[in-house]
Structure formats: C-alpha cells, structure tokens
Amino acid sequence: MIFLFITSGLFLGWTLGANDASNVFGSAVGSRMVSFTRAAVIASVFVILGAVLQGGGAADTLGRLGTVNAMGGAFTVALAAGLTVYFMTRAGLPVSTTQAIVGAIIGWNFFTNNAVDGHALTQIVTTWITGPVLGALFAYGLYHLVKITRRKITVHLITYESWLRRGLMTVGAFGAYSLGANNIANVMGVFVPSIPLEPVDFGIFTLSGAQQLFFLGAIAIAAGVLTYSKKVMQTVGTNLLELSSEAAFVVVLSQALVLFIFSSSALSGFMVKIGLPPIPLVPVSSTQVVVGSLLGIGLYKGVSNINMKVLGSIASGWVTTPVAAGVLAFLLLFFVKNIFGIDVGHSVNPPVTNGNAVNLAVIIRYSIPALLVITAVYLLYLVLSENKKTELMNKKYYE
C-alpha cells in the first residue's frame, strides 16, 4: 500500500531527473565537452549519494510549509507537482520542481484549512530570487577568475581543454551531489511525516526512515536522468546563450555552489559558529540558478549575447508553475477525497483568526514583491530588446 502511494513521488522524482537534474550537466553536454552517457551516469550516482547523505535539511524546511499528514494527501500533492512539471517539460519549458511542489503544498493547505507557515514560505520565496542572483554573481566572478587565470598561464589550448573537460566532470559530480541533497526534499519531503519507516541497520551505517524514502526518490531521479533528460540538456546548454567550454565549466560550478550552500547543514552551522546568521536550508530551483548563472556569463560578455526570448519564456514558467500546481493539487485533492473516499489529511494548524483572511494576507504579502520583481524583469527585458532592435536597425541602415 505504501509503495502505491509513493508512486506519485517517484513520478515527481523521474520528472525532476528528466528536467532539473539535466541542468547540472546541460551546459557541459550542450557545449559537447562531455558525452550524454558519461554525464548521465555521473549525475545518477552522485544524485543518489547527495540525497541519502545530506537530504534532511531542506526537507525539514519544506515540511514546515505544510505537514501533509495523510498518505493520500502526500500522494496527491506529489502527483499534482509531477504532472505540472511533466506537462511543462513536454511543452519544452524548463520548469522548476521546487515551485511545483511549493504550489501543490499550498494547494493542500488551502484544501485542508491549514495555515501557511509564513516564515518557511518567506525563506522559500526568498531563494526564488536569491538563488538565481547568487548564481549570476558566482558565474560572473568565476568567469572573470577563469579568464584571468587563462591569461596568466601559457598552457597549450588543447591541454587547457583537457583540464576543463576533467573539471567539468568533477564539478558536475559535485553539482549532482548538491542537487540530490537539495532537491530530494521536493520529491520525498511530503511523504516523510505520513510514512514513518523503521531505521535499517547495515552494520557499518544505519539508514533512517527518511533516508530510505530519499534513496527511493533518488533512484527515480536517476531513472529520469537516464531516460528523458537528453533533450532538455541540449536545450539548456545551447538555447539561452552560446556556451564556450570555459563558460560551461563556470555555469556548472556556480550552480553546484549555490545548491550546496542552501543544503549544507555543516556550512550553516559554521556560519552560526562565527557569529553570522544561519543559512536557510531550502530547496532551491536548479533551473533558476542555472538561468542566473547563464545570465552572469551573458552580463560579463555583454547583454546582446543573451537570447532574451528564451529568458522571457523561462521567467513566465516561474509564475505559471506554482499557480498551476496549486490549482491542480486543490482539484485532485477534491476528487481523491470525495470520489475515492481517501483521507488526504486534516487541519492541525488552523489559521488563528479568520482562516481565509490570514491565508489571503500571506498571499498578498508575498505576491506583491514577487509581482514587482517580475514587472521589473519584464521592463528590463523590454528596454534591452528595444535597444537591441534599434542597434540591429542602425546596423542594417548603415550597411
């Protein structure tokens, strides 16, 4: 019975593997520096390691957003997120599993009359902005560093490329590990409260109940990488910006660093130790980070190199994904509860005053800044595309 319920989580894991995991090696495969087969095998192994060894932190944060307390509810929430990601992937849009699962959990909160944890939602929504911004900053800085290093060392181009190729595989493995650690929460996080499994002792190590679920989810991610990620890898690697091998290396490394930062409890603990605020352990959208990293490289090279149309279509997915997943989760929960009579969860944390008013206030609180950011990005896009058009027209005129 448990296995039947987690199939939707496994499906979500498969879509994550097909879509988000490909971001780790997309640039490397798109620039033809690493073959797809090699990339897929490395990604699969390290995603599993990351999920099992370091997947707990981000899962806790997601659990705080909404503790889905029935297997039927967890099944439906994961299914809604999985279907959203699957259909958007089929439409050729790089979507985010993080946004899909967050939208679906909020849909569950609405359906079961549970209050949304404002603090957890703030942390998650903040990473929707800080993730790509950090990715862009890392990419810009690292690319600058790589270029300076290239100028300083007089190594032959072919030798340099062989270093980059090895570097790409190493940082790709690191990226896959971080992705597993960070994004397994999206896949299996909702099942942890409703499926309490007994720890399994292997003698030299013990797998907790959550780790067993994470392991199953990671296997599903690996299956998604191996079976369906080729097309998306080539899209991410080539559509947005024509990538050199150096740029591909930087994109993978900056993405890996961002995902690692938001999933490492050791790093967060270290921050506290030196008197700084802890780093929130939050599932980050790898798609957004990779787009941010590509943007960082694009800014370094000059903004005319960026294919703004692709960037615009990705940005629209950021809004449509959580909304679509939330609405779909609400509808599916209604059908599962009323037609199949399956328990989808109950209210454990009802809103303190008027429930609807509180939920509405939370939505308004986070929607307004999000809308402002989206509007600013859209205006920037319009200005840049207008400049580009003028530039092209002038070029044609003078030619």
Binding site for other proteins (CB under 8 A): 31-33, 35, 147, 150-151, 154-159, 161-162, 166, 244-245, 301
Query: Cα torsion at 42, 290, 320, 8 (round to 10°)?
Result: 20
In the complex, minimum distance from the CB of residue 39 to other proteins, in angstroms, rounded to a whole number: 14
- Nearer CB in complex with other proteins: 159/354: 159
In the complex, minimum distance from the CB of residue 296 to other proteins, in angstroms, rounded to a whole number: 14
- Nearer CB in complex with other proteins: 42/210: 42
In the complex, minimum distance from the CB of residue 91 to other proteins, in angstroms, rounded to a whole number: 29
In the complex, minimum distance from the CB of residue 33 to other proteins, in angstroms, rounded to a whole number: 7
Q: How far apart are CA 215 and CA 386, in angstroms?
A: 49
Length of the chain: 399
- Nearer CB in complex with other proteins: 235/244: 244
**Dmax over Cα atoms in the chain, in whole Å?**
76
Whether residue 132 contacts residue 289, with contact meaning beta carbons closer than 8 Å, is answered with: yes
In the complex, minimum distance from the CB of residue 133 to other proteins, in angstroms, rounded to a whole number: 23
- Nearer CB in complex with other proteins: 173/257: 173
- Nearer CB in complex with other proteins: 113/238: 238
- Nearer CB in complex with other proteins: 247/281: 247
In the complex, minimum distance from the CB of residue 302 to other proteins, in angstroms, rounded to a whole number: 8
Q: Taking the CB of residue 310, how many other CB atoms lie within 10 A of it?
A: 18
In the complex, minimum distance from the CB of residue 332 to other proteins, in angstroms, rounded to a whole number: 45
Whether residue 102 contacts residue 344, with contact meaning beta carbons closer than 8 Å, is answered with: no
- Nearer CB in complex with other proteins: 28/70: 28
- Nearer CB in complex with other proteins: 297/344: 297
Q: How far apart are CA 327 and CA 103, in angstroms?
A: 8
Whether residue 220 contacts residue 13, with contact meaning beta carbons closer than 8 Å, is answered with: yes
In the complex, minimum distance from the CB of residue 44 to other proteins, in angstroms, rounded to a whole number: 20
